[in-house]
């Protein structure tokens, strides 16, 4: 179901790109090219940016044996390559995974998450992160970002007089393409991000075999979410929980949130543990 929702959202965003290009009179290929170049860089370097912005350090041999042991067990179970492992010196419990494919992947955890979670809960979190790698969520997010960037590019160029709008186009349609399309693309991109988090929760709980442990971990992570952790906003969606909560207002609508509400994630995991299938 999560795959279907992601596909539907990407299709909708693609239609918005085509609509915007048509109404504002832009060469679609050129717009997508510039968007592709920007997101190509992010696709290959977002992981390094996330690691650098959190000052993550690579886990050396003999360090953090719980993390290494759990990841080794899970990757062998799934026949996945062993990712590079990193530690972030921060009290906020959090973790993230990145990598354009399983052979070029990294998993990072904070020192805070090691202090707060039990081993079973930590396994649930790490299984969630490996699921992002397994499901190639970085690729999906990059495609969504490229399409959103193309819409933003065309709208900004139109603002500065670019494009070749048809004089017969109804002004209301132009306004929709100029203002509503970029907002819609952001909302859809955030919806894709939330859908991938739900997907990683489900796959991760199946991988660990313990949905309740992941649910418990998410609740604990939420309790400590107001501990500040400086992170580049561009990579905040990589984390299992939004690391920017300490710097954002609770009133921000969930339409523009990169992560689903913790209560909803916990609810779905508990339903899964009880045998209830969530649609």
pLDDT at 137: 85
Q: Is there a domain that residue 110 lies in?
A: yes
Neighbours of 29 (CB within 10 A): 8
Q: Would you say residue 277 has pLDDT above 80?
A: no
pLDDT (tens digit, 9 = 90+) per residue, 217-248? Answer: 999 999 999 898 888 777 788 899 999 886 76
What is the tens place of the pLDDT at every residue in 53-92? Answer: 888 999 999 999 999 999 999 999 999 999 999 999 999 9
Any domain includes 278: no
Please tell me the distance from the alpha carbon of residue 250 to that of residue 111, in angstroms, as a whole number: 25
CA distance 260 to 269: 13
Answer whether 0.75 is exceeded by the pTM.
yes
Q: Does residue 272 carry a catalytic annotation?
A: no
The H-assigned helical ranges of the chain are 2-24, 28-53, 65-78, 111-116, 119-134, 137-159, 171-175, 181-208, 211-223, 262-273
Residue 223 lies in a domain: yes
Q: What is the pLDDT of residue 279?
A: 47
Domains of the chain: total = 1
Q: Distance between CA atoms of 16 and 10, rounded to whole angstroms?
A: 10
Check 89, 121, 123, 129 and give the catalytic one: 129
Q: Is residue 279 part of a domain?
A: no
User: Is residue 160 included in any domain, yes or no?
Assistant: yes
- Residue 93 resides in a domain: yes
Quick one: pLDDT band at residue 5, thresholds 50, 70, 90? low
- Domain of 71, in residue numbers: 2-273
**Residue 142 resides in a domain:** yes
Residue-level pLDDT at 248: 67
Cβ distance 205 to 211 under 8 Å? yes
């Amino acid at each position: 179901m999560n795959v279907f929702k992601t596909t539907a959202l990407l299709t909708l965003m693609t239609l918005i790109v085509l609509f915007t290009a048509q109404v504002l009179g832009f060469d679609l290929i050129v717009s997508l090219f510039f968007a592709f170049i920007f997101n190509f860089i992010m696709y290959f370097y977002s992981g390094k940016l996330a690691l650098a912005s959190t000052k993550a350090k690579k886990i050396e041999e003999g360090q953090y044996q719980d993390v290494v042991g759990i990841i080794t067990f899970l990757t062998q179970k799934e026949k996945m390559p062993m990712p590079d492992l990193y530690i972030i010196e921060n009290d906020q419990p959090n973790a993230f995974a990145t990598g354009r494919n399983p052979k070029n992947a990294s998993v990072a955890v904070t020192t805070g998450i090691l202090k707060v979670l039990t081993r079973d809960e930590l396994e649930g979190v790490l299984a969630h992160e490996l699921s992002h790698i397994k499901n190639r969520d970085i690729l999906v997010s990059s495609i969504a970002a490229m399409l959103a960037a193309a819409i933003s590019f065309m709208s900004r160029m139109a603002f500065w007089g670019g494009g070749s709008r048809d004089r017969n186009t109804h002004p209301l349609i132009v306004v929709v393409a100029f203002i509503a399309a970029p907002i819609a693309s952001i909302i859809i991109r955030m919806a894709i991000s939330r859908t991938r988090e739900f997907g990683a929760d489900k796959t991760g709980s199946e991988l660990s075999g313990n949905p309740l442990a992941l649910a418990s971990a998410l609740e604990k992570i939420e309790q400590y979410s107001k501990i500040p952790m400086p992170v580049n906003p561009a990579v905040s969606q990589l984390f299992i929980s939004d690391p920017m909560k300490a710097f954002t207002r609770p009133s921000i609508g969930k339409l523009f949130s990169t992560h689903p509400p913790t209560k909803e994630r916990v609810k779905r995991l508990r339903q899964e543990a009880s045998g209830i299938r969530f649609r």
